[in-house]
Chains A and B, each alone.
Chain A
């Protein structure tokens, strides 16, 4: 990441002609400033093969073995790049002792964008070990995923 503040531009568009009584056409854009400080010093883009796993046993992002943690607020982009099985997304605020909470269920090709915070989502008073977890729901299922995350302000 380059020195100083960096920027990201995100735009989402929803359109439908049969979901609501009127046609839906909505576009929203946000420009994010990633601070050039320790609160915004990390960003990663990764691909994974997600296996079936119960909550707490899936793929943790970043890995539990990783020494450094996400700091402050973090944005996640997640996409199920597989073609057959859904991808479950969970979030957990602690390294151990807390069962991750399921929040997302992405069908093949679907994507999502979340923002986490290690403050309000913390469960033991120590701002550490914020993790996103991915897996499939049923034995013998696997899928592939792309995950892109970047730290924001504290």
Chain B
């Protein structure tokens, strides 16, 4: 069994009529069994062909996993277009779209032996990712 500590802060002074100041921390432990026997951390170049990000997770994410994905592509600057958004699919169904510079994280569970894939609508995109099987 291993553990990972996650902290998320969200701050804004103008999205709501009052200041938003969220600061949450959670330490998550992995189970001591075959459903939680893999973790991976890496980066990928993404195209319009769906690419599995949990290839090394023994055939699929067994049940529940902590997933972090960041679109590390370039944001738009004067005269230069942004790299494409990254589309995240659960078993082929789009569940998220991440713009350059943005990230997401979630305790993911698409069912037994789920496959998470990433793709772009057009062009080449870039991500860094972490997948940690939990239970």
Q: How far is the CB of A153 from chain B (nearest CB, A)?
A: 8
Does A73 contact B10, Cβ atoms closer than 8 Å?
A: no
Interface-central residue, A103, A104, A114, by most chain B CB under 10 Å:
A103
Which residues of chain A are near B11, meaning CB under 8 Å?
8-10
- Minimum CB–CB distance from A122 to chain B (whole Å) comes to 9
- In the complex, what distance in Å separates the CA atom of A113 from the CA atom of B91? 20
Q: Mark B87-109, 1 if CB is under 8 A from A, else 0.
A: 10011011111110111111111
Task: Among B14, B85, B91, B101, find the residue whose CB has the most chain A CB atoms closer than 10 A.
Answer: B14
Q: How far is the CA of A92 from the CA of B130 in the complex (A)?
A: 25
A selection of 23 A-B contacts at a CB cut-off of 8 Å is A1-B15, A8-B12, A8-B20, A10-B9, A10-B10, A18-B2, A20-B41, A73-B97, A77-B22, A89-B106, A101-B90, A103-B90, A103-B96, A103-B109, A105-B63, A105-B64, A105-B109, A110-B26, A111-B24, A113-B10, A114-B95, A115-B96, A148-B10
B123 interface residue per 8 A CB criterion = no
**Which secondary structure dominates where chain A touches chain B?**
strand
Alpha-carbon gap, A2 to B20, bound state (A): 14
Tell whether, in the assembled complex, residue B15 and residue A113 are in contact, meaning their CB atoms are under 8 Å apart. no
User: Are the C-beta atoms of B8 and A113 separated by less than 8 Å?
Assistant: yes
Interface centre among A13, A26, A79, A102 (most CB of B within 10 A): A102
Chain A residues whose C-beta falls within 8 Å of the C-beta of B2 in the assembled complex: 16, 18-19
